[in-house]
Chains A and B, each alone.
Chain A
Amino acid sequence: MANLAELGRIQTGVAVKKQRPHIALWVAGGIVGTAAVLPVIYLVIRTAGAGQEAWDLVFRARTAAVLGRTALLIATVTFFSTLVAVPVAWLTLRTDLPFKRTLAVGAALPLVVPSYVMAMTLIEAFGPRGILQQLLEGPIGLHRLHDIYGLGGATLAVVLVTYPYVLLTARGALRRVDPALEEAARSMGYGPVATFRRVTLPALRPAITAGVLLAALYTLSEFGAVALLRYETFTAAVYAQYSSALDRSVAASLALVLAVVAVVILIAEDFSRGHAAYHRSSAGAARPAKNVKLGAWRWPAFMFVLLPIIVGLLIPLTVLGYWLAQGLAHGRGAGPVWEPVRHSVFISLLAALATLVAAAPVAVLAVRHRNILSRTIERLTYIGFGLPGIAVALSLVFFGINIATPLYQTVWLLLFAYVVLFLPAAVGALRSSLVQVSPRIEEAAQALGRTPVKIMTSVTLPLVAPGILSGAAMVFLMTMKELPATLVLSPIGSETLATSVWSSASEALFARAALPAILLVTVAGVPTAFFVLRDPARRSMPEAGPIRPERTGAG
């Protein structure tokens, strides 16, 4: 029975092979997880070595005041982001709003405008001697608008760049709410408004909470907009301490405080997610939701959705165009821009690639080999999500100066910062598309005689490709926009679009920042918008059933 013997041999061969990639995977995952927490660890080491006077500086009254201001901004930003994003999500998904597809894309597009670009164009539009004031000066003799600088302006600018995050999570969640739930409430005597309040909103609550915490983290790490709008938050204080003071351990200590606040928010986010056992209670095809007829509210609702698009997208783009036209008309050169474009694109592509490579083992382990270790690795990579760019950058500066000296002032350290910062986005994108590929599919391919490598290339990769692409696009966009880490870690003399916008904007030479800003928005925005905003409902891949969170509320 030679055949049988051969069969046996083949089977054992497969069984042995199957074990090997696991070890490599675990090692890779472990390295990535360690690398992700390295900045925090080093920050702690560095701070522990700081003298008493450094700590005195950290714990003075001024620090508390800055923290208070930061908390206030976080509160206003999250409040208004939710107020804009949730109704927009609902209106663009569940009603007969005119042009709702276009509006849905438009409303998420302020995502591609970097916060500092948003801030400087808002200053131009609404600030003293700005466009709005000049327009109003003639007809009604208005000479002074409400001051754009301070909390109000900072809130406006940061809301405009953060509400898209809340919008996208809310839209995703709203799409997963079974319309039968709403119909059940209607059949039990609840009107449309009561149904939204009692059924739809509670079902969205976990997603809204997650989106809000995301907005809070973003606000905490926000740097450019608040600096331009002269509202000093914690990141600005850290940066000021870093760039002015001689004793940089004070800056490190402040950065650690910032990181601790971020981790607290992050834990809150995790906590809120853990209790989110809100999923469809059983399988079965959901019938598509019927659109709510807005009636007389159609056009007011349309205006409501249009407003953030006008202020967050059309005004910034118009102002940038206006500056550019003026600069060209006056023959003022915009300075060398091709070098920054090249640098930006190069480093962003590199960051997207590196981040994806780092994210791959983490995502595979998290989806296919769930246990305490893989979950811990995944959690570790999420630290970068909460860490403000400035904190990571400072930590790496000290790391570069003291330990990794050959890397200091090279692009590699900057790249490392990007990977740490944007790893969560890549892991998330990979993870969610990997979850949809059932191991059964791979097993089917294996049973049909494909080798593991062949299965990877012919089955798994094509299926997760959309996730990989959108993850890469997301990292690319964020790297292009990233300012504080780039500012601190960029090798001297190599300018990116972000830093060249910043260097002009921080000196209030807005017109000179116009061209790089436009290039930045275009290069980062157009391709990214395509992937990030793509409607999941239109994916060719069949959508998997509801994904149940592994932790449930009372269980």
Chain B
Amino acid sequence: MRFPRPFTSTPRPPASTETGVIHVQEVSVDYGGAPVLNGFSLLVRAGEFVSVLGRSGVGKTTALRVIAGFEHVNAGYVRLGGLLVGSSFIHVPPDRRRVGIVFQDYALFPHLTVAENVAFGLQGIDRREREARVRPVIDMTGLTGLERRYPHEMSGGQQQRVALARALAPRPVALLLDEPFSNLDRNLRSTLRREVRDIVKRAGATTVLVTHDREEALALADRVAVMGNGRVEQFGTPEDVYERPVSPEVARMTGPCEVIPGTMRGSVVITEAGEFPVVQGQLAVSESSVQVLMRAADLELGLADPETAEAGAFVVYREFRGEFTQYGVRLPSGMTLRVQGRSVARLPDGARVTVRTRPGAKVLVFPKTAGTG
């Protein structure tokens, strides 16, 4: 095990669950202009799989590079296995951090075979030992038989497994995945996703995945850190961030939804789309004027009573998606609401409808001040 040289003399504090294997505290990074990271914090426990979800440009890749040591931090602290590796006054270079990375385009060494790529990080140990270390990783990643191939002779999925094997072989303190599925086609993606999670879990690696794909982030991770501008907006289980988002922004990032204005009346909220039951005790909303989060999957449509339908909502589009049909519903204010209809009945364009929550579903409300993004 090689550890950051400046600290080898310091006794290593135990990497307890409390400090976390990766512990990033209030880190700020700027390239001379606007900050890319601004008070970014993240704590990843041993063996945990955390995904960092955010739109492009919110600094998620920078966050990954801060952990890996490719970026210097202007403020804050980065700890790996309890050791301080990055701050405004100290910077341990990437080669002393023992962090494994799977790059977006894999960055396989084109002049080396699969086996050589995987063995690349195993320096300073003898040949036999090295082979003994490479073999299980090759087997685990399903690359058996391909050891002597060159990267360009492999498919995208195979290349990704080589990149994963290469990152895991040196038994890194932490494994970082930078949008590893973005170069793969859709069908391959979900298969490989499960495969990667299996491999990573079997290896017991502490993992951070950076992605802009919410499906990927929610499906893979033990916990999800949703990033806004340069910081983590919410950090919790996938269920947490989806069902109990702390802000409309987080809600938008974790699933398709619309935010419309409403007025509280007891345990229901009244909007132009109708009256909806509100989730109790989620947020202390004092004002009666609120923002209402409408998840497409929580809503359903009914045919409106022709008597009162004059000023009501109507269907503007309909997209058959297989498991469900997505409707676009134009509200009187001109806003379009997405609703997942599961009923067999086809509602034609222009049909007057009413919107209601699915049985058992409730809507979330946010204070007006929470911003609409």
Contacts and interface: CB of A to CB of B under 8 A. Distances in A.
Contacts of A181: 107, 109
Interface residues of B, number: 36
Nearest to B71: A290
Interface in A369-426: none
A188 B109 contact: no
B153 A554 contact: yes
Contacts of A101: none
Decide if the interface of chain B is mainly helix, strand, loop or mixed.
loop
A278 B95 contact: no
B123 A189 contact: yes
Interface in A439-464: none
Interface string B107-146: 1111100000000110100000000000000000000000
A181 B112 CA distance: 12
Interface stretch (B38-46, B97-105, B206-214, B301-309): B97-105
Given A188-B120, A189-B123, A277-B150, A282 B95 contact: no
Given A178-B105, A284-B183, A189 B2 contact: yes
Given A187-B97, A187-B99, A188-B120, A279 B152 contact: yes
B107 A278 contact: no
B105 A283 contact: yes
B49 interface: no
Contact of A282 (B93, B105, B109, B166): B105
B156 interface: yes
A337 interface: no
Interface string A206-231: 00000000000000000000000000
A277 B154 CA distance: 13
A547 B46 CA distance: 42
Contacts of A199: 109
Contact of B106 (A203, A277, A281): A281
B28 interface: no
Interface in A265-289: 277-284, 286
B248 interface: no
Contacts of A300: none
Interface in A180-212: 180-181, 183-191, 195, 198-199, 202-203, 205
Contact of A278 (B93, B111, B170): B111
B36 to A, nearest CB: 13
A130 interface: no
B82 to A, nearest CB: 19
Contacts of A284: 104-105, 182-183
A186 B93 CA distance: 8
A190 B97 CA distance: 11
A253 to B, nearest CB: 43
A178 B100 CA distance: 18
Contacts of A336: none
A79 B29 CA distance: 44
A188 B105 contact: no
Nearest to A286: B105
Nearest to A189: B95
A331 interface: no
A282 B159 contact: yes
A199 B109 CA distance: 7
B28 to A, nearest CB: 19
A552 interface: yes
Interface in B159-193: 159, 166-167, 170, 182-183
Contacts of A552: 152-153
A205 B112 CA distance: 13
A110 B123 CA distance: 42
A19 B152 CA distance: 35
B236 to A, nearest CB: 29
A548 B111 CA distance: 14
Contacts of A205: 111
Contacts of B183: 282-284
Nearest to A201: B111
Contact of B105 (A180, A189, A191): A180
B103 A183 contact: yes
Given A281-B159, A552-B152, A187 B105 contact: no
A527 interface: no
B101 A187 contact: yes
B167 to A, nearest CB: 8
Contacts of A333: none
Contacts of B107: 178, 180-181, 183-184, 281
A295 interface: no
A189 B98 contact: yes
A68 interface: no
A13 interface: no
A281 B68 CA distance: 22
B70 interface: yes
Q: How extensive is the interface on chain A, given as a class?
A: 20 to 34
Contacts of A548: 152
A555 interface: yes
B151 A281 contact: yes
Contacts of B106: 281-282
Nearest to A190: B95
B111 A188 contact: no
B90 to A, nearest CB: 16
A202 B117 CA distance: 13
Contacts of B170: 188-189
Nearest to A548: B152
A546 to B, nearest CB: 10
Pick the most buried of B95, B159, B167: most chain A CB atoms within 10 A of its CB: B95
B203 to A, nearest CB: 16
A281 B110 contact: yes
A187 B94 contact: yes
A284 B181 CA distance: 11
A553 interface: yes
B201 interface: no
Contacts of A189: 2, 95-96, 98, 121, 123, 170
A252 B298 CA distance: 89
Given A180-B105, A183-B103, A281 B152 contact: yes
B173 to A, nearest CB: 11
Contacts of A184: 101, 103, 107, 109, 166
Contacts of B123: 189-190
Interface in A501-527: none
A188 B170 CA distance: 7
A7 B168 CA distance: 61
Contacts of B100: 187-188
Interface in A460-488: none
B315 to A, nearest CB: 36
Contacts of B166: 184, 188
Contacts of B110: 203, 277-281
A41 to B, nearest CB: 39
B150 A554 contact: yes
B35 to A, nearest CB: 18
Nearest to B98: A189
Interface string B337-372: 000000000000000000000000000000000000
B108 A281 contact: yes
B109 A187 contact: no
Contact of A188 (B93, B121, B182): B121
A190 B95 CA distance: 5
A407 B13 CA distance: 88
B156 A282 contact: yes
A203 to B, nearest CB: 7
A285 to B, nearest CB: 8
B105 to A, nearest CB: 3
14 contacts: A183-B68, A183-B94, A186-B69, A187-B167, A188-B170, A190-B95, A198-B120, A281-B108, A281-B151, A281-B152, A282-B159, A283-B183, A552-B153, A553-B150
Interface of B: 2, 68-70, 93-101, 103-111, 120-121, 123, 150-153, 156, 159, 166-167, 170, 182-183
Nearest 8 Cβ contacts at the A-B interface: A188-B121, A284-B105, A180-B107, A186-B94, A281-B151, A202-B111, A184-B107, A180-B103
